[in-house]
Structure 1
């Protein structure tokens, strides 16, 4: 094998190796991006898990505050809406193994009997409880429970919605933070009730003692003084009761709003971490795309250069072979290769090179 063929082959191998190296580099960068994305995802999940209790407490406080303000989640007549039952709520799948709807099982005999029959038949046939992971047919089970229980979901929901509204409207706590101070609130104020009569009795006793000492116990002036003091004292105590009413409502609102606010902050933190994760993952994906594009270009260039250089060496080898093999008359001098090149050889070389 000639030196030219060896050089051409080596160039092609070098081009292939360069192309493969470009692909390997892109694969390494892609794997690095996947690892980085997984780290981002793990951090987001950890943050969400850590903040979830605060979010839950915030939601609970917000719901209670909404109730005390008389704000309806449905916006209908200021009364909270009953969460209607649907076919999907007939089976509780939250624990893996299926369980009945606890409320319906306790309150509706038809549903309870249908569920017991279903579970008994399932265990007799399969030996365990139904579970989506085990291939149990949830849709068919829901249809069977609805048919066998005799439930009319529309009628049941309407009845429960009405009961919820009646119960809510009769609850003094509902909308209490927006209710005006009333005589009932005054009478129910323990400080007012315990202190008013004692204060009136003590001051009345003092005025009467002073009037008796001056001989005017039953005079009009004494009665006027007692009446004025009683009115002033009662007004002061009533105003104190009103201030306590306002202070209690304000304290209740501020405490619930504070807890709701911490939930909102926790939710905002999770959202911020999620947004940062999305941005970082997007940048990683863009980086992988750029690396793939650069790899494709680099791989193509390496192969193209290898082929081009190999072809050039092949052509050079062919020309070199012709120079060594061409010839005829006329002696020529020695050359560096140790062979004698005739004049015709030089002419052939010039012709190959396009020279005259």
Structure 2
């Protein structure tokens, strides 16, 4: 039986594959330290869990509008107001996670051959979702020399008459890069000049340790009209499994995304929506506590990482990933690629990382510090010992 061409072109998620392999080794009794998963290692706050319990007990388990509960859209509206962004309720759509919001967005704005500019390195699902919508991913290079950020000049080198959208992820997965207001203004001016939609993925907005998160949509009416903000509660409130995200933007686009959802998912899970209302309207102490924990981990782990021979790494300003360049480390170990390094680390010292090739930059690896400090410290120790041993044998 033949599968469709669209699914045959898909590249499976390497982060999920590596996490699954690490979990398999753990289940067999191996002492694996997983640094691959992209989710906080905190439980969802109790007040949010209780809100879901209350909803279920009250019988709030039926269908909701496809675009989300009005009460949740109001909570998101108020949250955005606090960020300096005003949207009408018909300019907000609740989805089954931010990934689902992105999927519906690309399905709603792209036709065959439309191009979407994606900065390298990128989150693994961006290119695949663009391709599923019939679009063409067009990549623009960034690296350590540019602090993993694009400029108008760089964007001009890849823009064509078919360019429909630009994806902007700040803070970034996998690099932790954070755009400043001036840097965002330059991108905003470029987008307005060229009438290009900006897909602003802000899922890591609360996890900033140096500077502050700014939404590009706050930089004037012209860029706001072209921006679709994507966000959700997965990272901010440690609710990855609850699957609640949202999109905010032009009413015509939001309506199309909502109509699409009505024929696919019907609606986001109802108890999860009530939990998300509490996430946005309830006690926000958890956000500061989790942020402080991640910052402490980063400040402790980063200097240890830099002691590993051959490693170079920009200290991230947000998210919860380290994205070291391991090109020299690979050479010192007598290996052929960062992919091989990642494979050997899992097999020989039981540390699960993600190769940068998954994100479009093959000289890097991604290490998530969304794990306890003791485990993270041990993982860095194992990596360092692995490199030292390989150097002695090389």
TM-score bracket, normalised by the shorter chain, equals under 0.3
Query: By percentage of residues, which structure has more strand?
Result: 2
Q: Which has the larger radius of gyration?
A: 1
Query: TM-score when scaled to structure 2?
Result: 0.18
Query: RCO (CA 8 Å, sep 6+): is it higher in 1 or 2?
Result: 1
Query: TM-score when scaled to structure 1?
Result: 0.20
